[in-house]
Structure 1
Amino acid sequence: MSNGPHAKLAELGLTLPEVAAPLASYVPAVQSGQHVYVSGQLPLAEGKLLATGKVGNGVSAEQAKDLAQRCALNALAAVDSLVGLENVVKIVKLTGFVASAPGFTGQPGVVNGASELFGAVFGEAGRHARSAVGVAELPLDAPVEVEVIVEVA
């Protein structure tokens, strides 16, 4: 299984983190039928936010793109812990939320950090529908949050 999702992550120099503990009353991911719904994932590493603030004022678009990739990696960890990445058939929908400074309109470029990771890990099965939304605030003053819907075998 040298071309599976775990191997692809290793080729990218990435490893799945521990599943981030929920910040409130919810679970990281839930399966319903052939879909896994992943709760919003923040750019956490070892329980700490990698950055805080608004994109376009204190957080650059390039930094936010990297943070969106971390959110996606955290989402994959949640999927893996629930059903195993090897059971992913398709990344169906990605919603990215970007805490945006007034006038910042580069949300799609920021959320590309998550989209590109899914494509690199799953190839064609990583291509998905998507929304990239600018918001005033996110939990803990995070710059980016990502939620995902995944089809599984």
Structure 2
Amino acid sequence: MTGSAEARVRELALDLPDYANPPYGRRYGRIKPFHRIGNLLELSGLTPENRAGDRLHPGLVGRDVTVEEGYAAARLTAIHTLGMIRYALGSLDEVVSLSRALCFVACPPGFEDLHGVSNGASDLFNDVFGEEIGTIGRASIGATALSRNNCFELWLSLECAPLREGE
């Protein structure tokens, strides 16, 4: 895929959240939504929880949530992540390359299909950015619990275009 990530979001009819209002993190205390160091942007953890606090498929994957539902939750989390990237950079077209994702999957001990859940986020990023920009280094980590009983959480680091003079 070549072209604009913003155009691709429109083609896919994705509804990206606006993280400017209300401010990010109001249910979780005082946290920083993102941190930029030069061309590196690091995002705080995002979940399959909408701005109103409604969660998609809460619980443990492999017990309360199927792998397919976990995949859908990871995909929705990636959509939320796109909203945060837009908030941080102004446009998804400022993304040069996704670099690292830490995917946390809430699951019982012994659950082995972590990658099957995390693929929901990875596949969405490839759909929006294409393989060259959207293919990401990823670790999928099993967790016994995540905040507010979410089944998935994503931490993302990416390379962005240099700041232009005056920014």
TM interval, short-chain normalised: over 0.9
* 2:98 is the alignment partner of 1:91: yes
Distance (Å, rounded) in 2 between the aligned partners of 1:133 and 1:54? 13
Distance (Å, rounded) in 2 between the aligned partners of 1:6 and 1:15? 12
Aligned to 1:79: 85
Of 98-107 and 34-43, deviating more is: 98-107
Which is higher, the Rg of structure 1 or of structure 2?
A: 2
Which amino acid is 2:144 matched to?
Answer: A
- If the length of structure 1 is used for normalisation, what is the TM-score? 0.93
Aligned to 1:62: 68
Cα deviations across residues 90-110 of structure 1 (Å, max 9, x unaligned)?
Answer: 011111000012332110110
- If the length of structure 2 is used for normalisation, what is the TM-score? 0.86
* 2:35 is the alignment partner of 1:30: yes
Between the aligned residues of both structures, percent identity stands at 32
Deviation at 1:57, TM superposition (A): 0.7
Cα deviations across residues 42-74 of structure 1 (Å, max 9, x unaligned)?
Answer: 101232212211000110100110100111111
Distance (Å, rounded) in 2 between the aligned partners of 1:54 and 1:32? 35
Cα deviations across residues 90-136 of structure 1 (Å, max 9, x unaligned)?
Answer: 01111100001233211011000000111111111101111000010
- Structure 2 counterparts to residues 8-47 of structure 1, below 5 A: 8-19=8-19, 21-22=24-25, 23-47=28-52
Of 129-138 and 41-50, deviating more is: 41-50
Distance (Å, rounded) in 2 between the aligned partners of 1:6 and 1:66? 21
Distance (Å, rounded) in 1 between the aligned partners of 2:34 and 2:84? 6
Which amino acid is 2:120 matched to?
Answer: G
Structural RMSD (CA) = 1.5
DSSP 3-state at the match of 1:55: coil
The structure in which a higher percent of residues are strand is 1
Alignment: residue pair count: 152
Aligned to 1:141: 149
Deviation at 1:31, TM superposition (A): 0.9
**Alignment gaps of 5+ in structure 1:** none
**Alignment gaps of 5+ in structure 2:** 162-167
